[in-house]
Amino acid sequence: MACMKPPQRLQSLIEEGLIDTVVRQLMSGKEAMVYVVRCGDETRCAKIYKEATQRSFRQAVDYTENRKVKNTRQARAMAKGTHFGRQAQEDAWQRAEVDALYRLAAVGVRVPKPHNFCDGVLLMELVADENGDAAPRLNDVVFAPEQARAHHATLLKEVVRMLCAGIVHGDLSEFNILLGADGPVIIDLPQAVDAAGNNHANRLLLRDVANLRNFFGRFAPELLQTEYGHEIWDLYQRGVLHTEVALTGRFEHQHGAVDVSGVLREIDDTRVEQAARLLRLRSGA
């Protein structure tokens, strides 16, 4: 297997013996660069987080609200926006994905298995397709209606399993789900939020589920009529959500006063998300 010259950010992992060789670059995205690496007899991937100044993805307060930091000094510095505070915020941003991966992998959610986190590099399982190659994103695959329905149902179970573990992905879409040899695998979790501690968790979960509905609804149009997001959150709020729950896709909305500011915010979110999707499609990232 041919190898490439290791990027500087991976050199310390090679010196520590965590990586043997760097095979190739797998992708360059909005927040990180990912490389295929060899670790002994195993092929893994190394995710190198970009510095905040180099990333297009902003650390919106919706995501960072109520995130834990190491101490009160860090919290004060982050609030003041000092250089130390920005470093602490960057560390918390990266650590959020690492912590989420370990928590979710421990409860059986379909995410890449994390192996190590060192010097801003996350070393984890390489998700492969049936041929052993790097798995494609859902966005790059065309599905038959029955495949779309099956993968949609699988991912809804993963959303439920994540929520039962107290986590909402926050940016779930066809761009950050890989189609592995045994089905979809969820990736890219630095924006994951605490379901109980973040006031925006409800809205983010509804958007995650709507993204799944809209994508798979291209191949199985009947999915466009479902209301799984509202149903899942309602069960969670009532304390009756569990990993084996039988979802119906139906939900009866309670009609009352309209939250105008909330509606406007959803419209703004949709515009921002659509612009980000167009950018990703143009760049191929």
17 has a pLDDT exceeding 90:
yes
Percent of the chain surpassing pLDDT 70: 75
Q: Is 171 a catalytic site residue?
A: yes
Mean pLDDT of 111-137: 94
267 has a pLDDT exceeding 70:
no
Task: Pick the catalytic residue from 41, 129, 171, 234.
Answer: 171
**In this predicted model, which residue has the larger pLDDT, 118 or 141?**
141
List, for residues 50-60, the tens digit of each pLDDT value: 876 544 444 45
Domain that holds residue 239: 8-278
Mean pLDDT of 39-54: 84
pLDDT category of residue 200 using cuts at 50, 70 and 90: very high
List, for residues 72-117, the tens digit of each pLDDT value: 554 454 445 555 555 666 677 778 889 999 999 999 999 999 999 9
Residue 209: CB partners within 8 Å, gap ≥ 6? 156, 159, 172, 228, 229, 232
Q: Is 140 a catalytic site residue?
A: no
Task: Quickly list DSSP for 89-141.
Answer: HHHHHHHHHHHHHHHHHHTT-SSPPEEEEETTEEEEEPPB-TTSSBPPBGGG-
- Is residue 155 in a domain? yes
End-to-end CA distance of the chain: 25
pLDDT in the model for residue 94: 77
- Is residue 2 in a domain? no
Which range, of 73-77, 124-128, 215-219, averages the lowest pLDDT? 73-77
Q: Collapsing DSSP states into helix, strand and coil, what is residue 73?
A: helix
pLDDT category of residue 29 using cuts at 50, 70 and 90: confident
Report which residue type is found at 80: K
- Is residue 1 in a domain? no
| Among 33, 185, 58, CA closest to 109 | 185
**In this predicted model, which residue has the larger pLDDT, 279 or 110?**
110
**In this predicted model, which residue has the larger pLDDT, 216 or 86?**
216
Cα maximum dimension of the chain: 63
Count how many domains the chain has: 1
183 has a pLDDT exceeding 90:
yes
Tell me which residue has tokens 């918390």. Answer: 92
Find the radius of gyration of the CA atoms of the chain. 19
What CATH number is associated with residue 223? 1.10.510
- Is residue 272 in a domain? yes
- Is residue 283 in a domain? no
Residue 106: CB partners within 8 Å, gap ≥ 6? none
- Is residue 67 in a domain? yes
Q: Give how far the C-alpha of residue 115 lies from the chain's centroid of Cα atoms, to the nearest Å.
A: 17
Task: Pick the catalytic residue from 119, 188, 194, 234.
Answer: 188
- Is residue 285 in a domain? no
Q: For the chain, what is the mean pLDDT?
A: 85
- Is residue 218 in a domain? yes
